Amino acid sequence: MFEWTECKDFRMLRMLRPLAIHARRETPPGPRGRLLGALPEVARGRLFELLHHMWRAYGDLSSTRVGAKLLISVVHPAHIKEVLATRRESYTKESHRARVLLGDGLPASNGASWSRQRALLQPRFIPRALSFFDPRIEGALDRVVARWGRVADEDGELALDQEMTELTLDLSLRALSSEYLSDEHAPLRTAIVDAVDFVAASGQLFRLSTKLPTRRNARFQASLATIHGFIERAIAAHESPDQDLLALILSARDQGWMSDELARDEAVSLLLGAYDSTARALTWTWALLAAHPDARARLHDEVDALGGRVPLSQDRGSLPWTRAVIHEAMRLYPPFWVFPRHVAADEQLGGYRVPAGSTVLISPYLTQRHPGLWRDAERFDPARFLGDAAKEARANSMYFGLGPRTCIGNHVALLEVTAVIACLAQRFELTRVGPPPVPEFATTLRPRGGLRVRVRRRAG
């Protein structure tokens, strides 16, 4: 009993140590003096408002208590580089917010396991291997073009955010297992949306145990069982001859170093890890094009030169204006607007202490609107990503992360978003219905209440 109590007391002291260092004002500046710190704001889902206030009031490095946790906000790229690259061993994904959904898949893994998983998957995602995705993109877009054509012929409307989610989920499914999204996948589609919404609604920092017998937890567990069931059936029935992503995973399992459970988690991560963020990038790009007719007209001029063709992997480097529009959209509305790192070992940052056990939050949304880095930072200006200015703009952009854990699918995401925008912009004109979209700061940056558009065929 004494040993157990001693161990418990040690864990409590270790947990409180960051707060003791913070109380001595050795950590970055920030709001102090309240018993619960910023816990009430975070509990009400106002994390963005908290981080924005801390940045405006205290600068690029700030800190605050959130209940019994110490939160450190990091905004400037120089400090972010230390966290994500130079000193990355001290800043881990131990507390990845989507672990309840993705398990030990690549986005949530750490250390040697992450290195081995990354090495397995990386060859499929490098630029010279992107042709693997070409037929899958064309197949998914054929279905969208046909559906949008029917809507346009009736002068109809679409929920654009939902359309982009359906499309990117179809793309993920085709890449994973060579299947395509159909009515038969309706239960899977519903389960995925519910599970992703559960992760988003559970907050960026805290989550009650999913084992508690609440209604929300029960719904999540049911959704997770549906997703796992789909993956397990896909693995059991897999016969694809063209080395889809599931074939890569199964080869590692058959070699003995990947367990059945890890193979399932990896497959879930590949299915879900990027579809939501890619859908958000597409949605915000369409929204900005609808609001900026000059940029839209220039994009039409560029994509119309394709003569109806879908730009694919052989077109990388072409369509500079279209790509600049996409980069600028992700600058203003990065799909992952904030992400955490667990501080595993004591560090120094900007002359302040960053104690082990604290949580660092990096917000691309704030970094990419930093007036010290961007001229007229709130203005939509795709020219930032053209010519000589492009190198600096990309260096100050964090929407794909930074360092060794840069998003493994960054090249694929740009390929897909470019293909979708160019293909559909050649054929259709989208007009926003209702007021301009307002960001909702969930796990990914969504338009609150969705985004509806009227679809018309373009003349000629």
At 137-183, the pLDDT tens digits run 999 999 999 999 999 999 999 999 999 999 999 999 999 887 777 77
Residue 406: phi, psi to the nearest 5?
-50, 140
Angle in degrees, CA 52, 57, 63, rounded to 5: 75
Alpha helices, H only, 344-409 = 364-367, 389-395
pTM above threshold 0.85: yes
> For residues 96 and 345, which has the higher predicted lDDT (pLDDT)?
345
Reported as a pLDDT band with limits 50, 70 and 90, residue 4 is: very low
pLDDT value for 217: 87
Give the integer Cα–Cα distance in Å for 222 and 22: 41
Give the DSSP letter of residue 48.
Answer: H
Q: Please state, rounded to an integer, the average pLDDT across all residues of the chain.
A: 90
pLDDT of residue 392: 93
Give the Å distances, CA to CA, from 134 to 128, 224, 277, 327, 450: 12, 30, 20, 21, 29
Q: What is the pLDDT of residue 236?
A: 87
CA angle centred on 364, ends 361 and 365, rounded to 5°: 110
pLDDT of residue 1: 42
Model pLDDT for residues 424-434, shown as the tens digit of each residue: 999 999 999 99
Domains, the chain, ordered by start: 106-457 (1.10.630.10)
**106-138 residue pLDDT tens:** 888 888 888 999 999 999 999 999 999 999 999
Question: For residue range 205-240, what is the model confidence (pLDDT) as tens digits?
Answer: 556 667 777 888 899 999 999 999 999 988 888 876
Over residues 35-73, the pLDDT tens digits come to 788 988 888 888 999 999 999 999 999 999 998 899 999
Instruction: Give the model's confidence band at 273: pLDDT under 50 very low, under 70 low, under 90 confident, else very high.
Output: confident
CB 168 within 8 Å of CB 140: no
Please determine, for residue 202, whether its predicted confidence score (pLDDT) is greater than 80.
no
* Across 64-78, 88-102, 119-133, 252-266, least confident range: 88-102
Residue 2: its pLDDT value, please?
Answer: 42
pLDDT of residue 199: 80
Nearest one of 146, 306, 5, 191 to 199, comparing CA atoms:
191
Kindly indicate the confidence band of residue 354, based on its pLDDT and cuts at 50, 70 and 90: very high
Confidence of residue 198 (pLDDT cuts 50, 70, 90): confident
